Amino acid sequence: MAQVLEFKLPDLGEGLTEAEIVRWLVEVGDVVAIDQPVVEVETAKAMVEVPCPYGGVVTARFGEEGTELPVGAPLLTVAVGAPEGPSGSDKDSGSDPESSGGSGNVLVGYGTGAPAARRRRIRPDRLDRAVTEAPVSAAPVVKAPVLEARAVKAPVADAPVSEGPVPVVSPLVRRLARQNDIDLRRLTGSGPDGLILRADVDRAIRTAEETATATTRAAQAPVQAQAPAAAVAAAPNGVAAAVDAERIPLRGVRGAVADKLSRSRTEIPDATCWVDADATELMAVRAAMNAATGPSAGPKVSVLALLARICTAALARFPELNSTVDTEAREIVRLPGVHLGFAAQTERGLVVPVVRDAHTRNTESIGAEIARLTELARTGKLSPAQLTGGTFTLNNYGVFGVDGSTPIINHPEAAMLGLGRIMPKPWVHQGELAVRQVVQLSLTFDHRVCDGGTAGGFLRYVADCVEQPAVLLRTL
């Protein structure tokens, strides 16, 4: 007899707690093999394919494309062959993939290392008992406006019990409801067997905010006007907004970028210095490299690869900028290796792939890795591991046709070098006015790790290498 197993959205790592369904790779009724990718999801870090640890026939899918699911929420169910062993066993059939013929894999290319803690799946017929035994996390019924209600919270143990256990499995859903004073007992779940999902809680929050807006002056969101004369409504931040204004959720890559940049501006006392440099000789060296034939020929070298190699040489001279700050220990942590990030603009937003061990690579190797990571970023196939762990970032905003910028440091790094467009400008060269290829370089640095003298020395060395590439021969 076939056994139906439920596959839940696995822990994606890197502190990620939710993901958005981008594209289903299987349909109900399809036969899937063990570790076959079944869905493509987008997290705050990357787009990944999630493999199913079971082999069998897909009997149900949970969530349409565009739906955001928390870690631990059901993704799909698979009917597999009857498991070996006693048929009357009371063992939880879905708690261990290995006991059901599954592989235990969670993500393509991420390995199957032992988890920190095993999470047992709750079978539908045991949902009530599992929830009854767990502490009740639902907040009490609140009739006052949402803003005022958040100031008074009853202890969890005092939550009223009126109509039995609440059909909620996800701790994230319970926490979201508790933080927004939503009484889960008043909600009707849209999940299987009436399970309350995050979408149900989000819908209740929006309803509560709209009600509070209509009845109090502490508005939480713009209200759709009933009369044509009502042109604007109060937005949560107090700024007037048109009734038909578009509201775009800050989630996925955009949300992650917003969080990281806000944290950088909040925690890091940054400063910026910049300098114009004559890049004529650097461009001539690059042209000579790319024009080489015979045994000395090789892949084309980009300007970004040359600047990346210059950065690794500069960081060897000024290691203060290849560091991070441990705020809890009040220590500056100087990092032994350079993992060089570079900003890449994609259709999904800004991402920062990382070239591992850049200090051990030459220009050609760095260029090849940048090209490989750029292609993965373009296709949305970068893994979280390829987007984290950087120690210094290079930002080539010159590709957008601008000369200068004041970059925001990629937290928790200590510095970022910005590269403007390279363009012909009048320049005094060898005592005479000439047209030269000029570029503006800017360095934003964490003032806690070094003073202006160190930052200025780093930037000046980079500029000297740009103007006289032969300077790099000293360190090759």
How would you write the pLDDT of the chain (476 residues) with one tens digit per residue? 678 899 998 877 656 678 888 889 999 989 999 889 999 888 766 778 889 988 999 999 998 888 888 888 999 999 987 544 444 444 444 444 444 455 555 554 343 444 444 444 444 444 444 434 444 444 444 343 433 333 333 333 343 444 455 665 555 677 677 778 888 778 888 877 777 887 888 888 888 877 777 666 544 444 444 444 444 444 555 555 567 888 888 877 778 788 888 999 999 999 999 999 999 999 999 999 999 888 878 889 999 999 999 999 999 999 999 999 999 999 999 999 999 999 988 887 788 999 999 999 999 999 999 999 999 988 888 888 898 999 999 999 999 999 988 889 999 999 999 999 999 999 999 999 999 999 999 999 999 999 999 999 999 999 999 999 988 877 66
CA distances to 91, 381, 393, 394, 398 from 351, in Å: 44, 12, 11, 12, 17
Task: For residue 336, count CB atoms less than 10 angstroms from its CB and return exposed for 0-12, middle for 13-18, buried for 19 or more.
Answer: exposed
Angle between helical axes of 452-467 and 280-291 (0-180°, round to 10): 50
Minimal CA–CA distance to 303: which of 387, 388, 394, 230? 394
Tell me, what's the pLDDT at 172? Answer: 64
**57: how many CB neighbours lie within 10 A of its CB?**
15
Residues designated catalytic: 447
Is 338 in contact with 409 (CB distance < 8 Å)?
A: no
| Nearest-angstrom CA–CA distance, 93 and 315 | 54
Beta 392-395 vs 415-419: how paired, if at all?
parallel
| Nearest-angstrom CA–CA distance, 127 and 170 | 12
Tell me, what's the pLDDT at 414? Answer: 96
Tell me, what's the pLDDT at 370? Answer: 96
| Nearest-angstrom CA–CA distance, 193 and 407 | 50
